Homo-oligomer: A and B are copies of this chain.
Amino acid sequence: MKSSIEGFEEIIKASLGEIEVETLLENGKVIDVLTGTIRREDVAIHRGIIVGFGAYDAREVIDLGGNLLAPGFIDGHLHIESSMVTPPEYARAVLPLGTTTVVCDPHEIANVMGKEGIRYILDTSSHIPLNVYVMLPSCVPATRMETSGALLTAQDLLEFRDEDRVLGLAELMNYPGLISRDPEVLEKISSFSDMIIDGHSPLLSGKELSAYAIFADSDHECTTPEEAQEKLSKGMYIMIREGTGAKNLDALIKIVTTKNSRRFFFVSDDRNPLDLLGEGHINQMVKRAIEAGIDPVVAIQMATLNAAEYFRLRGLGAIAPGFRADMVVLDLLDDFKVTMTIKDGVVAAKDGKVLVEIPVHRDDRGRGTIHIRGEGLLERLKMEGSGTARIIKVVEDQIVTEEIKEEVDLDAGIPVERDILEIAVCERHKGSGNLGLGLVKGFGIKEGAIASSVSHDSHNIVAVGTSERDICDAILGVERIGGGQIVVRDGKVMAALELPIAGLITDQPLEKVKEKLIRLKRAVEDLGCRLKDPFMTLSFMALPVIPQLKITDKGLFDVTRFEFVDLFV
């Protein structure tokens, strides 16, 4: 426990019962992740710290009505940006779900704002009732095939090394760079070799995985039991991910045993606002794990102690003297539903409602990050020529795409009737005028256009539409709202979600975002689109590390051949 000597004295007195403690949680059943048991126990809290068990004189007594009391849940890897809200608003969303600690990787905002983006997340999360730890983005920019807003060198990252809430290096996506001994990658690893290094190595195996596992302490990209088992045996902690796009719990939970469960914990990675408000967060993963046959105490260990141990977060992850009083009450009779969240000894949420003040300080950083070259945009969006074209084929619910080839005559216009649409990626960090143009099939849009400044990983503006006029309107519309997602038709904005912070985050509450997302979805449907999540699909069109055919502000990119290609064969 960290404190001043005076603080120690008071805590000791409270623990001994020499003074009244602040709070006593009575009549609860503690899920004890340390002994691996559940037992009837009263819990005394003072100054935000658990100070003892049993009978205490307390200023406030809270009756838990025989319900279960567990440590607060920990999300071991996520990008807060994916929730589209600020850290305080994120806290407001997840506190009622029992989450009291998150370890985030500000990868998205760092791709736009660089060091200032990391600083923004640290600052805006410093005084909220949610423990927000930061892993430093290891791969900004994600690739050299696109224009990002920033570049982070090992030297840049070192500036954050000694921050209290910085734990290490976030997902080391550049495993090919490590395996090929890229000096930049080695320098980053060397700079953080005594801290935690999160891995990210989908499908890597054999000797290449061995080489990678020497440095990477974990992985959150496992999709099969075999992949997880190999990574586990090679020393990596397995983060079981249930994101909006990628759901791995069902596959991975099969290999969890009481003899290896300590090496597993839960993460959400990317969870969009609708999912957070719908399915939930780590609470849902606990429930799912128990349904899959995991012992409830073990499931709670995976949601608490295991992540705390991996990240060496002393004082988090268990209910015992000296631990932070971050706890959740679970309804025994209602499927482990979270009914109360206690944060630093205070009831922060009850029955789905946040009961504490969450300070939001007006912070103007991140505003005005949209810089496009508007002159002649309409002209530059014009596509010409005819022949056999390489077309990006959308794969529903997947971030991969296919490449198909079809005959097109662009001089006669975009062949919307064959569901072939224009796709454009407009560089928006430096106003360079970079503009990548291509064709895409599968959106089903019959009129108008959509555009978004959320576009992994460099977050340029990506737009899909039926004509250069509509696309131009959509891109300029995104610029006008200072970043965000938009649906346009006939020169009119049909729906929009403003994301004025880095073009990724709103300053509105999550419920507001939800409303606007629903309106956006309906507006896209009105254009004829039948995709389940068109803006998510859109946001991965510009990610040139996921096969097959992608597009960046620098042009069409064939991921398998790993080179830029022309539109016409």
Interface residues of A (CB under 8 A from B): 1-5, 8-9, 11-13, 15-17, 32, 34-37, 39, 49, 51-54, 178-179, 181, 183, 186-187, 189-190, 193-194, 206-208, 210-211, 213-215, 229, 232-235, 257-260, 262-263, 295, 297-298, 301, 309, 312, 314, 318, 320-323
Question: Please, how many angstroms separate the alpha-carbon atoms of A314 and B257 in the complex?
Answer: 23
Q: Are the C-beta atoms of A32 and B233 separated by less than 8 Å?
A: yes
* A235: B residues at CB distance < 8 A: 34, 318, 320-323
Q: Which residue of B lies closest to A310 (CB)?
A: B309
Whether B53 pairs with A210 at a CB distance below 8 angstroms is yes
B52 touches A8 (CB 8 A): no
User: Cα distance A182–B181 when bound, in Å?
Assistant: 54
Q: How far, in Å, is A124 (CB) from chain B's closest CB?
A: 25
Give the shortest distance, in Å, between A390 (CB) and chain B (any CB).
Answer: 34
Please state if A12 and B52 are interface contacts (CB–CB under 8 Å). Answer: no
Q: Indicate if the CB atoms of B207 and A12 lie closer than 8 Å.
A: no
With contacts A189-B8, A229-B35 taken as known, whether A321 is within 8 angstroms of B258 at the C-beta atoms is no
A12–B260 touching, CB < 8 Å = no
A321 touches B214 (CB 8 A): yes
Asked, given contacts A190-B5, A235-B320, whether A260 binds B207 with beta carbons under 8 Å apart, the answer is no
Min C-beta distance of A286 to chain B, whole Å? 16
How far apart sit A11 and B212, CA to CA, in the bound complex (Å)? 11
Measured CB to CB, the closest approach of chain B to A399, in angstroms, equals: 28
With beta carbons under 8 angstroms apart, the residue of B215, B263, B323 that contacts A322 is B215
Q: A52-B207, A186-B9, A322-B214 are in contact. Are A36 and B260 (CB under 8 A)?
A: yes
Residue of B whose beta carbon sits closest to that of A257: B36
Residue of B15, B181, B232, B257 near A214 (CB, 8 A) is B15
Docked CA distance A4–B183 (Å): 12
Question: Which of A11, A16, A206 counts the most chain B CB atoms within 10 A?
Answer: A16
Going nearest first, the 9 A-B pairs with the smallest beta carbon separation are A36-B259, A235-B320, A214-B322, A52-B210, A15-B211, A258-B258, A36-B260, A210-B321, A213-B321
A208 proximity list for chain B (CB < 8 A): 16
> Could you list some 26 contacts between A and B, CB below 8 A?
A8-B186, A11-B214, A12-B178, A12-B181, A13-B181, A15-B214, A16-B179, A34-B232, A35-B233, A35-B260, A36-B258, A37-B260, A49-B214, A51-B210, A52-B210, A53-B233, A194-B314, A211-B321, A213-B320, A213-B321, A214-B322, A234-B320, A235-B318, A235-B323, A258-B258, A309-B309
**Are B15 and A298 in contact, with the CB atoms below 8 A?**
no
